[in-house]
Amino acid sequence: MTLTTPTDDVVTASASRRRSGRWIDEWHPEDEKFWAETGAKTAKRNLIWSIFAEHLGFSVWLIWSVSSAFLVASGFTFTPQQLFFLVAIPNLVGALIRIPYTLAVGKFGGRNWTMVSAALLLIPTLSFAYFVNQPETPYWAFCLIAATAGFGGGNFASSMANINFFYPARLKGAALGLNAAGGNLGVAIIQFFLPVIVGGAGIFGLVKASEGGINLERAAWVYAGLAVTAVLAAFFFMDNLSSAKSDTKAQLSVLKIKQTWVMSFLYIGTFGSFIGYSAAMPLLIKLNFWRQPVPEVVGIGVNFAFFAFAGALVGSMARPLGGHLADRFGGAKVTLISFGGMALGALGVLWTLSMLETLPPPPPPEALAAIKADPSSFVFPDAVQAAVESNQGIFPLFLGMFLLIFFFSGIGNGSTYKMIPAIFRTDAERASEPGTPEREAALLAGTKKASAAVGIIGAVGALGGFLIPITFGSPWVTDPLAATKTAFLVFLGFYVICAAVTYVVYLRKPHPAKAAVSYAGVGI
């Protein structure tokens, strides 16, 4: 016979107390007994389906990163600047809507908002499926469709804010790292499988490219079906936490806190780099290493479709490692190292770019029509052939340096998200005494502030995903290679500034008179 104390009964009853709509009214992740008996299992279930929904959101968000590179082959005559702008628009929208998406978790509940946000993904997928088969569709219409893909970018903020409430402080770094990595991996998945789904490329000889041409709408139909699956999964398997409820005014109060803006600046350097480079990488490879005027002609050089996913995959896999290292050594130290690594990677990319030759631009529309009418008679000009072959030999170095940036951006993504809850928890601990009701209330308030800050920091950081492709496609630089070199010089300088800010704000030992407000040495 098992004896239970009144305290046990209260904990068990509280843990199971729910309202309609899968609301959990009692949630105490810092209580080790509660966590072992009830919390861990529930948190894990919500984390799994949160990862699925966020993964899907990232895939839809970045669907234009690869599909834009296939638009010209599908009959659309867009310039490199127009294509870079197309891949940048979803990132801008995704950044702007992250704040309302974060606030929605406190307003409607994490489970409920996951259902809504997943359903919204039907707008970009179904509109994409229809208009990509209409050759007369104007450029501005594609800009609007690409903008709706930004809905997928908002999913990250609401998902991270939601999962932040489920886990105790000691496990937040790993849990948030896994949640984010699962979402970030959606970028690599869409960039790997979209070319195969649409018939634009094979998989290392295992699957051949379609002989019937490119069918971009196939990818949209696949992800529309997955969006419906995500809605149903959230409905049946996720929960809302009453403790996560918060009024909008209280959540927006984090805008007045200096640390919110410092971390937003740093997150532009880490996540902004990850999402911006992920969006731009397929086009960068195509413009500098690949030539194929029409699908009916065998291309020469490095096919972007085989490598578009590599950077996003490396960055995604590195993110949970960054969270783990931050849990062990402190987020600020790991973040500083990540910026140093990204700076070295940028220097390496600049070195490889200095060895590249500028490829001649693709033929004009009239010439493309003639080539398509008689592809067997087309021969690449000697100048094009020589430049492509020269650049092809440098590509392994270019890719290696680029992947180094992706790796450290992933490390930095994980470490910065460890820092956010740690900063607010530290402030809460400083304002209360251990073991008191005031401490518990302060920690809950700190968690709410951290979740609100996640949305704001994520929104500002995601702006990097807009700025990076725009910089690569600078309209004032007609040569794509020259634009790429200029862009990486700018990025290199920015990483150095980010490293300096990280050190000065979070690692430098303060003057004794300011020691009370320092974050150095507290595990941030």
pTM confidence score: 0.78
pLDDT digits (tens, 9 = 90+) for 377-404: 889 998 899 999 999 999 999 999 999 9
Sequence spans of domains, the chain: 41-365+381-517
**Cα(88)–Cα(47) distance, rounded to whole angstroms?**
29
> Which backbone phi and psi does 250 adopt, to 5 degrees?
-65, -40
b/e map of 207-217 (b: 16 or more CB within 10 Å)? eebbeeebbbb
pLDDT-derived band at 342, boundaries 50, 70, 90? very high
**Cα(422)–Cα(416) distance, rounded to whole angstroms?**
10
Superfamily of domain 41-365+381-517: MFS general substrate transporter like domains (1.20.1250.20)
Query: How many CA atoms lie within 13 Å of 29's alpha carbon, on the beta-carbon side?
Result: 23
At residue 5, the pLDDT reads 40
pLDDT digits (tens, 9 = 90+) for 12-50: 444 445 555 589 999 999 889 999 999 999 999 999 999
At residue 181, the pLDDT reads 78
Residue located via tokens 């951006």: 409
Residue 37 is classified by DSSP as I
Amino acid (one-letter) located at 86: L
- Max mean pLDDT range (15-24, 65-74, 327-336, 508-517): 327-336
**Cα(365)–Cα(362) distance, rounded to whole angstroms?**
9
Q: How are strands ordered across the β-sheet holding 23-24?
A: 18-19, 23-24, 240-241
At residue 205, the pLDDT reads 38
Residue 516 has pLDDT above 70, yes or no: no
Task: Tell me if residue 75 falls in helix, strand or coil.
Answer: coil
pLDDT digits (tens, 9 = 90+) for 125-165: 999 999 988 878 899 999 999 999 999 988 988 998 899 88
| 133 and 45 Cβ atoms separated by less than 8 Å | no
pLDDT digits (tens, 9 = 90+) for 409-452: 999 998 997 888 888 888 888 877 777 777 878 887 788 788 77
pLDDT-derived band at 274, boundaries 50, 70, 90? very high
**Cα(368)–Cα(374) distance, rounded to whole angstroms?**
10
Nearest C-alpha neighbor of 458 from the set 254, 187, 157:
157
Residue 245 has pLDDT above 80, yes or no: no
pLDDT digits (tens, 9 = 90+) for 89-122: 999 999 999 889 988 988 899 999 999 999 999 9
Residue 324 has pLDDT above 70, yes or no: yes
Nearest C-alpha neighbor of 283 from the set 137, 70, 483:
70
pLDDT-derived band at 210, boundaries 50, 70, 90? very low
At residue 476, the pLDDT reads 53
At residue 389, the pLDDT reads 93
Residue located via tokens 């946000």: 117
At residue 454, the pLDDT reads 78
At residue 192, the pLDDT reads 84
Top pLDDT among 3 and 198 is at 198
At residue 201, the pLDDT reads 54
**Cα(120)–Cα(150) distance, rounded to whole angstroms?**
10
Q: What is the mean pLDDT of the chain?
A: 84
Top pLDDT among 388 and 176 is at 388
**Cα(483)–Cα(190) distance, rounded to whole angstroms?**
26
Handedness of CA 153, 154, 160, 166 (dihedral sign): negative
pLDDT digits (tens, 9 = 90+) for 66-86: 888 778 767 777 887 888 899
- Max mean pLDDT range (39-43, 251-255, 456-460): 39-43
